[in-house]
Structure 1
Amino acid sequence: MPHRFTFRTRTLLALSVSLAFSGLSLPSGFPSAQPASAAPAAGSAETPAAIEAFLQDRYGLSLPAAPTKGDFIAETAEILELGDAAIAGPFTDVSVSDAVYRPALALYSQGILTSDTVGAAAPLTRGTAVYLAVKAAGLKELAYTYPQEKVQASLSRLGLAYPGDGRLTLQAAQELAAAADSGLLPEAYAASFDPWAPAGKAFAAVLLGQILSVRGEYKHYLTTTGDSEVYSKLLQAYRTQVLIEVPALQPAVDQALKEGLITGYNLKDERYAPHFDKSRSLTYGHSDIAHAVQLIGLLRSEGLQAKIQLEPKTSAFLYLKEWGEPETSPDYKVVPLENGNGIAYAREYDLSFEFDTAEQKETFNGIISAYAKKNSEDQHGLITGSWWQPLYYSLTELPEYKLIANNVIQGDGYYAQTFTLVDQAQAFADGIKKIKPDAGVDSYTFWVDEPFYNYLLGGFK
């Protein structure tokens, strides 16, 4: 559909006229969407060190080398984001003044702790960590379906006999069996499993990561560059995505467009946030899904390995009346304004990558510059749909990247964002406050590729 590429050119020209608060405003790609929503996938097959880094980055957790049961209780309550429990404390061995009391009571209120004793100072054993993890992951009902024969068969694969010496209760044995069969207890720890052995820092981190994974709250990703079905998964997910509409957010940012405070913005769905390791990840935005297919093929050909999350995105920008009558579709619409202009809404996407190493992340810029960055009108040797100013950014500093600001307004599980130069962020926040006094604007800095930075400055290349 050639008109979309025409709209992109016109939009770029319009954006380059105004240096104030340039948002993303690039029309969407070509395949039609199905009217459905794609649920993000979650996974946790990572090293203990990677999981520890995730827990530190997302929850501020720093696990001790030799965790106690109390440590694991507090960490579990933290990742589950449980508030204070409105019940009377049943515990006989901890008091309200003890640091472990509130997280223990929160877990008790959820049926994760079931005893009136906490045993907070006891060294954490692998068995205790698993018993808590089964309940925290929401698998206890599954565990308690296990008859004794099934328990015995499952535990035999862990090198355990049941009832054996009688130290394992039926409930504990059921929880161990369900943890092993469901994958909550990773295979790497399943061989010759000793429930009474000290858990240690790595084991505790893995179990916390597995709790989050089973609950769909660990890293969200659709596929990987090495997946033999990567293209099929990408296209199927893309075809389920539709234009995002958020009545709680759009009136304010649409008014900002009308007033010239911004020239464009994005709408995104928080549920698709990948939660990747910042040091190894970056995000790449585009409108053409055929470009994404070739980009992934390009990364594979260059030996880059990464997790991939496809994040739906809608871009909004001013559609000028001199551009003529717009051609609309399920992926693209224009709402007319009183002055003859309109606000265009176009379906786009972000691809978030978490590379295997920080070094692979650093090579991304050179690959895009060589094979996905347009420098002349008739340039050959580029992947399809390459832009003059490709957009990709990192939350950590990288060589040759430039610092800019993202200005975010959240609401109803979605958010609106617009990218600006750093020294323009406060003016944007002040302008939004005049339009919607109760709007909260969260502005933070990050690093973007130089061509897009030049675009914010008004440059064509």
Structure 2
Amino acid sequence: MKSRTKWLLSGSLALSLLFSSALPLSVAEAAAVQTNAVQQSSTTAIAENELFLQEKYGIAFQAGSVTKGQFLQHIAKILKLESAESSPAFTDLNADSPYYTSAAALYEQGIITSLKVDASQPLQASSALYIAVKAAGLAELAHTYPLKKTTGALKQIGYSPAGLSLSAAQELAAAVHSGLLPSSLYKEVKGKAASPELAETLLVQILSIKGDYKHYIGYTSDADIYGKLADAYNTSDIIQSPELQTVVDTALKQNLVTGYNLKDDRYDANFVDSLSLTYGHDNLKHAVQLIGLLRSEGIRAKVQFEPKTSAFIYLKEWGEPVQSDSYKVVQIENGNYIAYAKEYDLKFEFNNAADKARFQSVILQYAKKNSEDQTGLIASSWWQPLYYSLTKLDDYIQITNNKITGKGHYYAQSFSLNEPSAAIAEGFKQLGAGLHIQSYPIWVDKPFFNYLNGEPL
């Protein structure tokens, strides 16, 4: 669907004009610049919400009004409420309605409380907030509100407790104070039908409050990003998952794969695929300098640190391995070892597709080693840097990620060329009954593809 909104300049650009103008601005002019910056930031957030819901859930509102049934359907979808055990007898909604299953699931959870659904009617903004407060799990918080606190919050959106039930007034107040309703949308509530922008914002805020939105430690442009990156690295350890390792270690011993990664899905960035890349490495100094490099190139992106453990065969002829907190080995039957190395993935979500495309030229110039005595690179640059996209990119090459998921939070993955991926997946299935096996395409940089393919750098 064609986006309803256009990407505008970020608010930071407008603010920079405020502080860097050659001539001093009047109070009125400064206020106008700040207001414009806030409006632009709000527009960017709305477009970001729209893209996230489209890519992750297939949710898209058309321009114009939003019906209550559509909103209930999308609430049920993001909460993964697929069905209800009971069959409530709604007064205006039959069981064959496309909205019945969603409404029944939400009614069972107490997210809607009336047997009159009004599914075909335009969604009122206040009604959307009542539903969103309950869906976000904020009802108990709302119902602690005394009258004074409630009244103060309602004033911000033009409401008075008069004419509202106590619980309704409390829920509107909690929507304001919790940030479920952003301040940029305060004027979109009283006496109005919910706009697509408000509906999308509430869906994303529900996901965020429940911990199901994007996860990141900050932006490349943040002043404190380096400290957060160091904290994330220093508190990560070698990942251990006996259930999965039994399978993938056996695959290593049988030469089914040459290596694999262990990761924890609780660190998954959950970024939108079309704007994201994943970059793997093992050295903290390299990560710090990579962030600085992107800043120096004017590339702003969200950053998530995802701990990773890489496993591979360490041959006995390489000599006695030296172990540490970040490098462990286990000897296997033939005298070789399986080595487990602490590594990480940095997940980036860029502001736009152009910056995502530009990332590769920066890496190849400043973080790709081509000779032993090469200078002008950031610290610990690799001969075969590893970075990949889940969407197709020019000058990247498609390979396959073979992923194994167990019962818990951990998963294993092994990258392969496309041709042997089916055999690898089948081998995993034979080794690990009850595990979920996925094989899907990813697009990697050419040096890493050459490494997999046994070609020169």
State if a TM-score over 0.5 links the two structures.
Answer: yes
Deviation, structure 1 residue 60: 1.9
* Structure 2 residue 355 is the aligned partner of structure 1 residue 360: yes
Question: Partners in 2 of 1:130 and 1:437 — Cα distance?
Answer: 46
Secondary structure class of the residue paired with 1:213: helix
Residue 100 (structure 1) aligns with: 99
Determine which structure has greater relative contact order: mean sequence separation of CA pairs < 8 Å that are 6+ residues apart, divided by chain length: 1
Residue 27 (structure 2) aligns with: none
Residue 381 (structure 1) aligns with: 376
Residue 15 (structure 1) aligns with: none
Residue 425 (structure 1) aligns with: 421
Is the CA contact 2:154–2:160 (under 8 Å) kept in the aligned structure 1?
yes
Residue 286 (structure 1) aligns with: 281
Residue 291 (structure 2) aligns with: 296
Deviation, structure 1 residue 460: 4.7
Q: Deviations over 1:371-402 (max 9, x none)?
A: 10001101111000100000001112222111
Is the CA contact 2:158–2:190 (under 8 Å) kept in the aligned structure 1?
no
Question: Partners in 2 of 1:275 and 1:134 — Cα distance?
Answer: 23
User: Could you say if the C-alpha distance between residues 429 and 196 of structure 1 is closer, same or farther in structure 2, counting changes exceeding 3 Å?
Assistant: same
Deviation, structure 1 residue 162: 2.8
Question: Partners in 1 of 2:91 and 2:201 — Cα distance?
Answer: 30
Match runs of 1:378-457 below 5 Å: 378-411=373-406, 412-457=408-453
Residue 246 (structure 2) aligns with: 251
Residue 180 (structure 2) aligns with: 184
* Structure 2 residue 232 is the aligned partner of structure 1 residue 233: no
Is the CA contact 1:402–1:448 (under 8 Å) kept in the aligned structure 2?
yes
Task: Point out where structure 1 has 5 or more consecutive residues left out of the alignment.
Answer: 1-43
Question: Partners in 2 of 1:401 and 1:329 — Cα distance?
Answer: 35
Aligned residue pair count: 414
Is the CA contact 1:388–1:460 (under 8 Å) kept in the aligned structure 2?
no
Secondary structure class of the residue paired with 1:62: coil
Is the CA contact 2:157–2:190 (under 8 Å) kept in the aligned structure 1?
no
Question: Partners in 2 of 1:301 and 1:443 — Cα distance?
Answer: 37
Question: Partners in 2 of 1:218 and 1:153 — Cα distance?
Answer: 29
User: Could you say if the C-alpha distance between residues 226 and 219 of structure 1 is closer, same or farther in structure 2, counting changes exceeding 3 Å?
Assistant: same
User: Which moves more between the two structures, 429-438 or 361-370?
Assistant: 429-438
Residue 270 (structure 1) aligns with: 265
Is the CA contact 1:128–1:195 (under 8 Å) kept in the aligned structure 2?
no
Match runs of 1:186-201 below 5 Å: 186-190=182-186, 192-201=187-196
Partner AA of 1:442 in structure 2: Q
Question: Partners in 2 of 1:307 and 1:124 — Cα distance?
Answer: 33
Out of 336, 340, 355, the position equivalent to 2:335 is 340
Deviation, structure 1 residue 311: 0.5
Secondary structure class of the residue paired with 1:248: helix
Residue 211 (structure 2) aligns with: 216
* Structure 2 residue 63 is the aligned partner of structure 1 residue 68: no
Q: Deviations over 1:109-134 (max 9, x none)?
A: 21111112211111001111111111
* Structure 2 residue 452 is the aligned partner of structure 1 residue 459: no
Is the CA contact 1:315–1:346 (under 8 Å) kept in the aligned structure 2?
yes
Secondary structure class of the residue paired with 2:243: coil
Deviation, structure 1 residue 439: 4.1
Deviation, structure 1 residue 51: 1.4
Partner AA of 1:145 in structure 2: T
Deviation, structure 1 residue 438: 4.4
Question: Partners in 2 of 1:45 and 1:255 — Cα distance?
Answer: 51
Question: Partners in 1 of 2:240 and 2:43 — Cα distance?
Answer: 34
Residue 79 (structure 2) aligns with: 80
Out of 37, 49, 52, the position equivalent to 1:51 is 49
Is the CA contact 1:125–1:195 (under 8 Å) kept in the aligned structure 2?
no
Is the CA contact 1:312–1:349 (under 8 Å) kept in the aligned structure 2?
yes
Task: Point out where structure 2 has 5 or more consecutive residues left out of the alignment.
Answer: 1-41
Secondary structure class of the residue paired with 1:347: strand
Question: Partners in 2 of 1:379 and 1:279 — Cα distance?
Answer: 34
Question: Partners in 2 of 1:162 and 1:176 — Cα distance?
Answer: 10
Question: Partners in 1 of 2:165 and 2:43 — Cα distance?
Answer: 30
Q: Deviations over 1:229-262 (max 9, x none)?
A: 0001111112121111112211111111001111
Deviation, structure 1 residue 185: 0.3
Partner AA of 2:127 in structure 1: T
Question: Partners in 2 of 1:294 and 1:440 — Cα distance?
Answer: 37
Question: Partners in 1 of 2:355 and 2:310 — Cα distance?
Answer: 29
Secondary structure class of the residue paired with 1:115: coil
- Give TM-score scaled by structure 2 length: 0.88
Is the CA contact 1:160–1:193 (under 8 Å) kept in the aligned structure 2?
no
Q: Deviations over 1:328-381 (max 9, x none)?
A: 122211111111111111110000000001001111111001110001101111
Is the CA contact 1:310–1:349 (under 8 Å) kept in the aligned structure 2?
yes
Question: Partners in 1 of 2:174 and 2:340 — Cα distance?
Answer: 48
Residue 142 (structure 1) aligns with: 141
User: Structure 1 segments of 4 or more deviating over 4 A?
Assistant: none
Secondary structure class of the residue paired with 2:167: helix
Secondary structure class of the residue paired with 2:96: coil
Question: Partners in 2 of 1:284 and 1:73 — Cα distance?
Answer: 38
- What's the RMSD between the two structures over aligned residues? 1.6
Is the CA contact 2:357–2:393 (under 8 Å) kept in the aligned structure 1?
yes
Question: Partners in 2 of 1:182 and 1:133 — Cα distance?
Answer: 12
Q: Deviations over 1:137-190 (max 9, x none)?
A: 111111111111111111112222332xx2x22222111111111111011012
Question: Partners in 1 of 2:44 and 2:265 — Cα distance?
Answer: 23
Question: Partners in 2 of 1:83 and 1:382 — Cα distance?
Answer: 51
Deviation, structure 1 residue 58: 1.3
